[in-house]
Structure 1
């Protein structure tokens, strides 16, 4: 098993990033969906979403590392194939990467501009601001786009999973095997 990617298969580090991020996104969406279905005050919803900031911070670090790793391995990665399906796969992956970066960036922008300190795991990242120092534009961008982009990303993830299943079950082309 190699660390780096190859044209035949994703390497161990790419697979680690993929599945670790997938598991943490399932946790994040589990909290969000439980709040939407059960209400924010429900004990299960509160438990699942209590660590949203900490999990989001870990996700952001993993996503940045994944993007850097993907760029470093760009010429070695498995090809998405020719034609319209290959183009759709490249566009889908690009969109997922863009949203995986944009969603936490919007949250970080909101955290930077608001009154509360941002200190995941007790490590101060942004100090609290006084009410007259709040950056309204930053908090508005974060508040207006973090959740909405996350839902769009969720739809794209469902499409990603559906295509992986289609590749495995209907087309039997080994696509899923390259990432497992």
Structure 2
């Protein structure tokens, strides 16, 4: 597949890879946590939950990369619709991105505050310490799980709105993120 940049009609190769790659990683995270909530601690749950911290840190790195990529492509991406639907989409995306940054950041702060250290794939991010920093751990203890489930609800809303666009509005909005090219591309919002 040749490299394609973002355009006013569709997202390019990098944007699509980041979007769908992160979607798979979030599915892994939420599936593991749903199993944990339903089954408690079992070997199957441990298989999924054992990677939770590392996948969460990877998601944080990817969302930061995604934000930088979006900024670099500002003005070259499909625009939001005019009117209420466009404003709602902009606010929904802003909330998604905010929580995609906040949720793992809280967890990293908790991990650092715990003094356990963190070395994914043998690369030391921070060393173990004898000191626990309770004020760094407290926000994540209070909010990480709750905000993660709010993020899942926003993701479900995002998917539901894609379905509304595809099935009810029939504006082929989904093609912006799944197709590389084709005659069925939706027109940019300003051409409608």
Q: TM-score range by the shorter chain?
A: over 0.9
What is the aligned residue count? 177
Structure 1 unaligned spans of 5+? none
Q: Distance in 2 between matches of 1:47 and 1:2?
A: 35
TM-score by length of 1: 0.94
Matching residue of 1:24: 25
TM-score by length of 2: 0.88
Superposed structure 1 runs of 4+ greater than 2 Å apart: 1-4
Identify which of structures 1 and 2 has the higher relative contact order when contacts are C-alpha pairs closer than 8 Å and 6+ apart: 2
Structure 2 unaligned spans of 5+? 179-192
Bigger helix fraction: 1
Deviations, residues 10-47 of structure 1 (Å, cap 9, x unaligned): 111000000000000000000000000111x2222111
- The question of whether the paired residues in 1 share the 8 Å contact of 2:115 and 2:133 is answered with no
Q: CA RMSD in A?
A: 1.2
- 1:3 Cα deviation after fit: 3.2
Deviations, residues 65-120 of structure 1 (Å, cap 9, x unaligned): 11100111121111110111100000000110111111111011111111211111
Q: State how 1:120-159 maps to structure 2 within 5 Å.
A: 120-130=120-130, 133-159=131-157
